Amino acid sequence: MPTYTAALRNFSGSCTRLSVHFHQTGLSLLEAIVTLGIAGTLTLTAMPSLLRLHAEQEVRTAANTLIAALYTARSEAIKRGNHAVLCPSMDGSECADTDSETAWEAGYLLFADSDGDAQRDSQEPVLRQFDPLRHVTVRSSRARDHVTYRPNGLASGTNLSFILCPRSRHASPRAVIVSNTGRARISMKLADGGSIKCSG
């Protein structure tokens, strides 16, 4: 009789532990589902902000890279006592031909322009090559298909504006404006104060 009682007590204890185990497992699963649901909601809520931050960073980076290229061109012209030209380039060796407007997002190059014709000849050294942009377009007018800096640091021609348009709708366009003095700046508006409009 004691043996039977002990066996019954052991069986009852095992059932209780098994019940508690399943109960705890059920709570853990429910907690996991709730946690995943909250994480998914937070991700969906934060996604537009993350996309906006990423797109804005791409436009800022493109604008800052262009500013750096312009100041490098100005510095090289002064240092070398000769013209330095920045122009769009498809191959990193020659200036690209322009159509209705000048596209810079395929890449651009800086070279020392010894003869002052704004076209790179084989003996004129390439001072710097700039990589293509993937998510930002950079355009200037057809009449301004290059930027020339003189040995005195001034930029040839009239004021020039580059329009930087993100391919994503999550970011705002920028303008890089170059004055006759050769100074370049980034702006959220055109040189005349008008709004920047991107096609497409």
Domain chopping of the chain, boundaries: 1-33, 49-187
Share of the chain above pLDDT 90, in %: 51
Beta bridge partners of 177: 161, 185
How far apart (Å, rounded) are the C-alpha atoms in residues 5 and 11?
10
Pick 49-187's CATH classification: 3.40.630.10, 3.55.40.10, 3.40.718.10, 3.40.50.2300. 3.55.40.10
Whether pLDDT at 1 is above 50: no
DSSP label at 96? P
Burial class of residue 161 in the structure, from the number of CB atoms within 10 Å of its CB (0-12 exposed, 13-18 middle, 19+ buried): middle
Tens digits of residue pLDDT in 35-86: 776 766 766 665 567 777 888 999 999 999 999 999 999 999 999 999 999 9
- 């700046």: which residue's tokens? 185
How far apart (Å, rounded) are the C-alpha atoms in residues 91 and 41?
46
DSSP label at 91? S
pLDDT confidence of residue 39: 66
Element housing 28 (H / E): helix 2-80
pLDDT, average across residues 149-174: 90
How far apart (Å, rounded) are the C-alpha atoms in residues 187 and 64?
11
**Of 100-104, 128-132, 174-178, 186-190, where does mean pLDDT reach its minimum?**
100-104
Structure tokens that stand for 130 in this block:
């700039």
Residues with Cβ within 8 Å of 65's Cβ and at least 6 positions away in sequence, in order, are 130
Residue 135, Cβ neighbours under 10 Å: how many? 15
